[in-house]
Amino acid sequence: MDAVPFDYAGLLERIAADTAPLVGSGTPAEYIPALASVDPGRFGMAIADLDGNVFGVGDWQVPFSAQSITKVFALALALAEGGDGLWERVGREPSGNPFNSLVQLEYENGIPRNPFINAGALVVTDRLQTLTGDASSELLGFLRTESGNPDIGFDADVAASEQEHGDRNAAVAHFMASYGNIDNPVPALLDHYFWQCSIEMSCADLARAGLFLARHGLRADGSRLLTRSEAKQINAVMMTCGTYDAAGEFAYRVGLPGKSGVGGGIVAVVPGQCVLAVWSPGLDPQGNSVAGVAALDRFTTLTGLSVF
């Protein structure tokens, strides 16, 4: 897909106006107390073009908890550092179950369905920990570099909240370890995973940081992080698995590779064109931002930009 010029600033203003009636719909993530208190009336959206120019509307420069969106970047680093042997430990298929489900692991011998459900993300973080010795710091450094924002950081309150309420993640990790699919001590793995999910970024940060997927694997400095094929593979898994068990609905409405987080953020990629990031904390029952999905739906409807 060749880049096409758009009036992104004007487009974002229109999308924000069209989406405004839905802002505040849904419910913030109540099972993580540090997220439950976020104002559901917030809305921000940003678009980063291939040159790194960013356009935004609303709360597009306000940091929020990236949560599961960080799984995309951890996956990219694990593939870049360690190659495609990772796929022997985690699948690439939609799960059809909630993101924190344990159901399929026993049937499938401790191999998670995909890298974006919690079980699969734990395997990816485990692999990154083995490769780097400090998975969460490696990821944070990457995000700071690609976004151009050295102030991106962890939210200690969110990390502590996740740790305190992380029994299900601990159960998943121990269960996979019993099948030999976790290499590092489970407590250390969980620590890195919770810190990873606590990273705070704005829509502007996320849109810039994700540009390597729109540039077919090229980083902000022009160096290659991923092969073109690996970038395609990550985009494909985002399309089929990036929005939990609502990926089919997201593909139907939006038509772009996307990854959501229960902090209310969503990143979406238009290969060869741009990256979008949207944030609104109110979630639907599947854990995706109600206003965020609607805003991305409006973007592809108004521009005709999708992978279809």
Is residue 262 annotated as part of the catalytic site, yes or no? yes
**Helix 118-132 × helix 186-197 angle, to 10°:** 110
**DSSP type of residue 99:** T
Taking residue 219's Cβ as centre, other Cβ atoms within 10 Å add up to 16
193 included as an active-site residue: yes
Q: Is 32 helix (H, G, I), strand (E, B) or coil?
A: coil
Active-site option among 124, 158, 193, 280: 193
Residues 212, 59, 38: CA angle, nearest 5 degrees? 105
C-alpha to C-alpha distance for 156 and 205, rounded to whole angstroms: 19
Q: In what order do the strands lie in the sheet with 265-270?
A: 54-58, 44-49, 274-279, 265-270, 258-260
Where do runs of H (alpha helix) occur along the chain? 8-19, 33-36, 70-82, 103-107, 118-132, 135-147, 156-164, 167-178, 186-197, 203-209, 211-214, 228-241, 247-253, 290-303
Catalytic residue among 57, 65, 68, 280: 68
Q: Is 244 noted as a catalytic residue in this protein?
A: yes
Closest CA to 240 of 116, 64, 136: 116
Query: Which of 136, 244, 254, 275 does the annotation list as catalytic?
Result: 244
Q: Count of CB atoms within 10 A of residue 245's CB?
A: 19
CA atoms of 132 and 165, how far apart (whole Å)? 27
From the candidates 237, 262, 269, 275, give the one annotated as an active-site residue. Answer: 262
The answer to whether 44 and 61 are in contact (CB under 8 A) is yes
Out of 23, 71, 254, 270, which one is annotated catalytic? 71
Annotation says 31 is catalytic = no
Residues carrying an active site annotation: 68, 71, 193, 244, 262
